[in-house]
Chain A
Amino acid sequence: MSSEEQAENSVTRLPWPEQFKALAEQSKSPILKAYYESGCVSPETPLSEVPFVALDFETTGLDANQHSIVSIGLVPFTLDGIQLGKARHWIVRPKLPLHQTSITIHGITHSDIDQAPDLNDILKDLFASLNGRIPVVHYRNIERSFFDVALQWRLGEGIRFPLIDTMAIEAHLHPDRNPSRWQQLLGKKPVSIRLADSRLRYGLPHYAAHNALIDAVATAELLQAQVLHHFSRDTRVADLWL
């Protein structure tokens, strides 16, 4: 293990608030420095006092090293309200060509993309909504890895942040979601932890449209419902963040 790797390791093992302080000192990019300096709530903070931001990326595929971000939606919220007035949505130009399949999924066309800015041009606005808030996503492997890779490319530096993953919460709640063949014969259906299916279990409405912003709103609503059904407003944020 090189000394550099050792230093990094000792930072990444720190609790999140201390880690943010250390990263703020190490970071060379002003935008990331400002992000880390905006701080991270203490692990003991009750969920009712945590400022969250629901975040959703639409991408051209599942591999951060091969595919690109196409659009970003976010909405700031707390357990008491999701502030639609502060919701934001951007379409960004992917580094790699758009697959026909992602056009049909996201409804984003080549002409949208041609006029879109590079992620670099919206970073300032994007971080204005992220600073000081804990991101909430549904399936962390997309947002965490795509954001890290995209910033490595543009700023020469990746990003580390705690997040709450509503899909991980559902996975935890339904450990036996894939019934054995024997159980299937008895009529047991598999439990889906996809966003739309998870929402149904909490009586949350179906959204017809499919875009990064409405998915972010849907994720925020899902977390509110999960907390009220399975945890409490006083639960420590450290019990849920990853």
Chain B
Amino acid sequence: MQAELIDIRNHMAQYPPFDEMAEELLDRVVGGIEVVYFKAGSQILEFGEPSNWLYYVRSGAVEIYRRSGELYNRISEGEIFGQFGLLMNRKVRFPAKALEDTLVYKIPGEIFQYLWENDDNFADFVEIEDRSRLRSAVSRREKSNQLMTSKVTRLIAREPVSAPHTVRLQEAARIMTENGVSALLLMDEEGEKPLLKGIITDRDLRTRALSEALASETPISEIMSEDLITIRSNMFIFEAMLTMLHNNVHHLPVMDRDEVRGVIALSDIVKYESQSSLYLVSNIYHQQDVKGLKKISLDVRDSFVRMVNEDANSHMIGSAMAGIGRSFTQRLLALGEEKLGPPPVPYCFLALGSMARDEQLVVTDQDNAMILDDSFVPEEHDEYFLALAKFVSDGLAECGYTYCTGDIMATNQKWRQPLRVWKDYFTDWIDNPKAEALLNSNIFFDLDGIYGETDFAEQLKTLVADKASNSQRFLAMLARNALNRTPPIGFFRTFVLEEDGKHQKTFNLKRRGTAPLSDLIRVHALACGSRAQNSFERLKAIGNTKLLLDDDLGNLRDALEFISIVRIRHQALAIEADRQPDNNVRPEDLSPFERSHLKDAFQVVSGAQKFLKFRYHAGVARNV
């Protein structure tokens, strides 16, 4: 700074956060300033434009608006604005307009970043509106997405249309046509209050009644769907979307206790969010061959990037991607059965790992297995199941889900076994735990039946939930394995970097971030006998048992969400730039905001690992 500019420096030195700034730092700020004048009424910042400056008001007054146009703040002499855009994603979050003739000092983004990293007082000041930093970092992202903030009741446009479950087919069809609905609720009206008994949809009428040429006098109860999947009226739209994705249903009755408030359809959500990944899923079911599926799979990455840009949270993105992966698998199984004929004995197709946890992203390999009915005779039946497994596995590979390098796939005979063998596997893993063997079978403790006799999968879940919580040796071993991978944070809150394939200094957000987290959450969840698979659901289950303090649970949830979302955004950016998405992040590619919060999140992981070691005596070798 030229000494003759002292007048400018002295002005800034009167106001926070510059009042406590070291002189040489403030000199540096003044040396970077560009001065610019705005006439009263003129726009200073437009929403969404790139934000490269912090603004200091030297004279005059500025109004700051929310995106909605609502006045958010009024800024006058000695105050700053523009920091949120710089902190968040380098786009203007809050438009600004000159209320009076205004002279501003523009401080370049690079200097802002330098101050933010080197002056704690400055960093605290510009973040003043988020006291609990990590939490608000997470919640702020969530606020902007309507799917996340609107309740399902908002989609209910009319009173539910229903009929007694005793009506005949033709009568049901007439009621649906008259009311212009695509689904009819069928009620048991014998009790005091009508109870929801079943549902019939347009699709059911076509596939179950017309194609079978059923008589118009057939009782509707013969073809209606029972044991309905419903959703509570206080849930959010995205939860309805996840429920539809997970269960592959297109209609959800919305319930207030046992009373029906209405029905929401897939088309309601697609209308709400026209770019929804649900649309992609429904498209998958219309494909008639692997070629068609492969073509659609090219849209998966677009769908992923779109969700990221719409500020969806990691749970939503992970579930949507898993739902898409599950749909590809289900459709391939159906096509495989069409080609090979019906299965000779019942079977269940299992998803393992991230798909089972509903935490899938775009770079993923296939982890799957088959549970066969106990009547399975290898010599007679295995040829069929091997062919089916191979058809699915090859099809998935065509659609971008690469083969599992550890050969954990239904094509491997070891993982294509009758239910009783699977029960023996799990019993052995839990009763005779060996660290090495468990390392390889970790993935089986995240399992989900996605096709066929899903009850087989439920039986395994029950077995694990009952046995695991009682085996301290198993939990200790599992905990020890969960400590193998430490977060990339050093003693002085510095990142610990590794060299990646391209010889760049990076850290791996999966191996050293989300994976250690889901590993340690799994240990706690198994210890408290939970059947949940998703890490967020598992945290909820852990919370119910008081195994962890509420604060610790909240921190774990926020850390998982933050690391996941940074990883997701890293991959989305790579896709948008036409690069191959991966998990290796260079610290310099992150915003200062992300860097600091990642450090917070990694420290949470580190602390949680220490507790895990202590809680399950994982530091002591017990099986030698």
Question: What would 28 A/B residue contacts be, using CB atoms closer than 8 Å?
Answer: A80-B34, A81-B35, A82-B34, A82-B35, A82-B36, A84-B1, A84-B31, A87-B4, A203-B100, A203-B101, A203-B102, A204-B37, A204-B59, A204-B101, A205-B11, A205-B59, A207-B7, A209-B4, A209-B6, A212-B4, A213-B5, A214-B5, A214-B7, A217-B5, A221-B35, A221-B37, A224-B36, A228-B39
Asked whether, in the complex, the Cβ of A89 is within 8 Å of the Cβ of B35, the reply is no
Residue in B3, B34, B39, B100 whose beta carbon sits within 8 Å of that of A81 in the complex: B34
Residue in B33, B37, B59 whose beta carbon sits within 8 Å of that of A224 in the complex: B37
Asked whether, in the complex, the Cβ of B2 is within 8 Å of the Cβ of A205, the reply is no
* Complex interface residues of chain B between 22 and 45 (CB less than 8 A to chain A): 30-39, 42
* Complex interface residues of chain A between 78 and 95 (CB less than 8 A to chain B): 80-85, 87-89
3 tightest Cβ-Cβ pairs between the two chains A and B? A81-B34, A203-B101, A213-B4
Please give, as numbers and ranges, the residues of chain B lying within 8 Å of A80 by CB-CB distance.
34, 36
Please give, as numbers and ranges, the residues of chain A lying within 8 Å of B2 by CB-CB distance.
84, 87-89, 213
Question: Is B249 interfacial (CB 8 A cutoff)?
Answer: no
Asked whether, in the complex, the Cβ of B36 is within 8 Å of the Cβ of A208, the reply is no
Query: For the complex, what is the distance from the CA of A209 to the CA of B3, rounded to whole Å?
Result: 11
- Please give the distance in Å from B297's CB to the nearest CB on chain A: 47
- Please give the distance in Å from A13's CB to the nearest CB on chain B: 36
Please give, as numbers and ranges, the residues of chain B lying within 8 Å of A77 by CB-CB distance.
35
Question: Is B58 interfacial (CB 8 A cutoff)?
Answer: yes
Please give, as numbers and ranges, the residues of chain B lying within 8 Å of A202 by CB-CB distance.
37, 101
- Please give the distance in Å from A133's CB to the nearest CB on chain B: 16
Query: For the complex, what is the distance from the CA of A229 to the CA of B101, rounded to whole Å?
Result: 10
Query: For the complex, what is the distance from the CA of A224 to the CA of B1, rounded to whole Å?
Result: 22
Question: Is A102 interfacial (CB 8 A cutoff)?
Answer: no
Question: Is A149 interfacial (CB 8 A cutoff)?
Answer: no
Question: Is A211 interfacial (CB 8 A cutoff)?
Answer: yes
- Please give the distance in Å from A164's CB to the nearest CB on chain B: 15
- Please give the distance in Å from B589's CB to the nearest CB on chain A: 27
Query: For the complex, what is the distance from the CA of A83 to the CA of B1, rounded to whole Å?
Result: 11
Please give, as numbers and ranges, the residues of chain B lying within 8 Å of A224 by CB-CB distance.
36-37
A contacts with B: majority SS: mixed
Question: Is A225 interfacial (CB 8 A cutoff)?
Answer: yes
Asked whether, in the complex, the Cβ of A229 is within 8 Å of the Cβ of B39, the reply is yes
Residue in A73, A212, A220, A229 whose beta carbon sits within 8 Å of that of B35 in the complex: A220
Please give, as numbers and ranges, the residues of chain A lying within 8 Å of B102 by CB-CB distance.
203
Question: Is B531 interfacial (CB 8 A cutoff)?
Answer: no
Query: For the complex, what is the distance from the CA of A81 to the CA of B34, rounded to whole Å?
Result: 5
Query: For the complex, what is the distance from the CA of A229 to the CA of B42, rounded to whole Å?
Result: 11
Question: Is B60 interfacial (CB 8 A cutoff)?
Answer: yes
Asked whether, in the complex, the Cβ of A81 is within 8 Å of the Cβ of B106, the reply is yes
Query: For the complex, what is the distance from the CA of A89 to the CA of B3, rounded to whole Å?
Result: 9
Question: Is B103 interfacial (CB 8 A cutoff)?
Answer: yes
Interface bits A216-240 vs B (CB < 8 Å: 1, else 0): 0100110011001100000000000
Question: Is B8 interfacial (CB 8 A cutoff)?
Answer: yes
- Please give the distance in Å from B35's CB to the nearest CB on chain A: 4
Please give, as numbers and ranges, the residues of chain B lying within 8 Å of A225 by CB-CB distance.
37, 39, 101
* Complex interface residues of chain B between 50 and 103 (CB less than 8 A to chain A): 58-60, 100-103
Please give, as numbers and ranges, the residues of chain B lying within 8 Å of A221 by CB-CB distance.
35, 37, 103
Please give, as numbers and ranges, the residues of chain A lying within 8 Å of B37 by CB-CB distance.
202, 204, 221, 224-225, 228
Asked whether, in the complex, the Cβ of A83 is within 8 Å of the Cβ of B39, the reply is no
- Please give the distance in Å from A173's CB to the nearest CB on chain B: 16
Please give, as numbers and ranges, the residues of chain A lying within 8 Å of B4 by CB-CB distance.
73, 87, 89, 209, 211-214
Interface bits A164-190 vs B (CB < 8 Å: 1, else 0): 000000000000000000000000000
Asked whether, in the complex, the Cβ of A208 is within 8 Å of the Cβ of B7, the reply is yes
* Complex interface residues of chain B between 545 and 592 (CB less than 8 A to chain A): none
- Please give the distance in Å from B213's CB to the nearest CB on chain A: 75
- Please give the distance in Å from B478's CB to the nearest CB on chain A: 58
Asked whether, in the complex, the Cβ of A204 is within 8 Å of the Cβ of B103, the reply is yes
- Please give the distance in Å from A83's CB to the nearest CB on chain B: 6
Asked whether, in the complex, the Cβ of A203 is within 8 Å of the Cβ of B59, the reply is yes
Tell me how many residues of A have a C-beta within 8 Å of chain B.
29
Query: For the complex, what is the distance from the CA of A84 to the CA of B11, rounded to whole Å?
Result: 15
Please give, as numbers and ranges, the residues of chain B lying within 8 Å of A208 by CB-CB distance.
7
Please give, as numbers and ranges, the residues of chain A lying within 8 Å of B8 by CB-CB distance.
84, 214, 217
- The verdict on A205 contacting B103 (CB below 8 Å), with A87-B5, A89-B4 known, is yes
Residue in B11, B32, B58, B101 whose beta carbon sits within 8 Å of that of A85 in the complex: B32
Residue in B33, B39, B59, B101 whose beta carbon sits within 8 Å of that of A84 in the complex: B33
Please give, as numbers and ranges, the residues of chain A lying within 8 Å of B103 by CB-CB distance.
203-205, 221
- The verdict on A203 contacting B60 (CB below 8 Å), with A81-B35, A81-B106, A221-B35 known, is yes
Residue in B35, B38, B39 whose beta carbon sits within 8 Å of that of A217 in the complex: B35
Query: For the complex, what is the distance from the CA of A213 to the CA of B1, rounded to whole Å?
Result: 12
Residue of chain B at shortest CB distance from A83: B34
Please give, as numbers and ranges, the residues of chain A lying within 8 Å of B35 by CB-CB distance.
77, 81-82, 84, 217, 220-221
Please give, as numbers and ranges, the residues of chain B lying within 8 Å of A88 by CB-CB distance.
2
Please give, as numbers and ranges, the residues of chain B lying within 8 Å of A84 by CB-CB distance.
1-2, 5, 8, 30-35
Residue of chain A at shortest CB distance from B108: A85
Residue of chain B at shortest CB distance from A81: B34
Asked whether, in the complex, the Cβ of A209 is within 8 Å of the Cβ of B36, the reply is no
Please give, as numbers and ranges, the residues of chain B lying within 8 Å of A81 by CB-CB distance.
34-36, 106
Please give, as numbers and ranges, the residues of chain A lying within 8 Å of B33 by CB-CB distance.
84-85
Please give, as numbers and ranges, the residues of chain B lying within 8 Å of A205 by CB-CB distance.
11, 58-59, 103
Residue of chain B at shortest CB distance from A209: B7
Query: For the complex, what is the distance from the CA of A119 to the CA of B31, rounded to whole Å?
Result: 25
Please give, as numbers and ranges, the residues of chain A lying within 8 Å of B42 by CB-CB distance.
228
Q: A87-B4, A203-B102, A211-B4 are in contact. List 5 more A-B contacts (CB 8 A).
A: A81-B36, A84-B1, A85-B33, A89-B4, A225-B39
Residue of chain B at shortest CB distance from A203: B101
Residue of chain A at shortest CB distance from B104: A81
- Please give the distance in Å from B523's CB to the nearest CB on chain A: 55
Residue of chain A at shortest CB distance from B106: A81
Query: For the complex, what is the distance from the CA of A202 to the CA of B60, rounded to whole Å?
Result: 10
- Please give the distance in Å from B84's CB to the nearest CB on chain A: 22
Query: For the complex, what is the distance from the CA of A35 to the CA of B295, rounded to whole Å?
Result: 63
Please give, as numbers and ranges, the residues of chain A lying within 8 Å of B1 by CB-CB distance.
84
Query: For the complex, what is the distance from the CA of A233 to the CA of B136, rounded to whole Å?
Result: 42
Query: For the complex, what is the distance from the CA of A228 to the CA of B58, rounded to whole Å?
Result: 18
Please give, as numbers and ranges, the residues of chain B lying within 8 Å of A209 by CB-CB distance.
4, 6-7
Query: For the complex, what is the distance from the CA of A208 to the CA of B4, rounded to whole Å?
Result: 12
Please give, as numbers and ranges, the residues of chain B lying within 8 Å of A229 by CB-CB distance.
39
Interface bits B291-327 vs A (CB < 8 Å: 1, else 0): 0000000000000000000000000000000000000
- Please give the distance in Å from B472's CB to the nearest CB on chain A: 65
* Complex interface residues of chain A between 82 and 130 (CB less than 8 A to chain B): 82-85, 87-89
Please give, as numbers and ranges, the residues of chain B lying within 8 Å of A217 by CB-CB distance.
5, 8, 35
- Please give the distance in Å from A195's CB to the nearest CB on chain B: 14
Query: For the complex, what is the distance from the CA of A73 to the CA of B5, rounded to whole Å?
Result: 11
Please give, as numbers and ranges, the residues of chain A lying within 8 Å of B39 by CB-CB distance.
225, 228-229
Residue of chain A at shortest CB distance from B60: A203
Residue of chain A at shortest CB distance from B40: A203
Residue of chain B at shortest CB distance from A89: B4
Please give, as numbers and ranges, the residues of chain A lying within 8 Å of B59 by CB-CB distance.
203-205
Query: For the complex, what is the distance from the CA of A214 to the CA of B3, rounded to whole Å?
Result: 10
Interface bits A13-52 vs B (CB < 8 Å: 1, else 0): 0000000000000000000000000000000000000000
Please give, as numbers and ranges, the residues of chain B lying within 8 Å of A204 by CB-CB distance.
37, 59, 101, 103
- Please give the distance in Å from A203's CB to the nearest CB on chain B: 4
Query: For the complex, what is the distance from the CA of A40 to the CA of B421, rounded to whole Å?
Result: 88
Query: For the complex, what is the distance from the CA of A99 to the CA of B152, rounded to whole Å?
Result: 83
Please give, as numbers and ranges, the residues of chain B lying within 8 Å of A87 by CB-CB distance.
2, 4-5
Query: For the complex, what is the distance from the CA of A211 to the CA of B3, rounded to whole Å?
Result: 11
- Please give the distance in Å from A149's CB to the nearest CB on chain B: 24
- The verdict on A85 contacting B7 (CB below 8 Å), with A203-B60, A203-B100, A224-B37 known, is no
- Please give the distance in Å from B85's CB to the nearest CB on chain A: 18
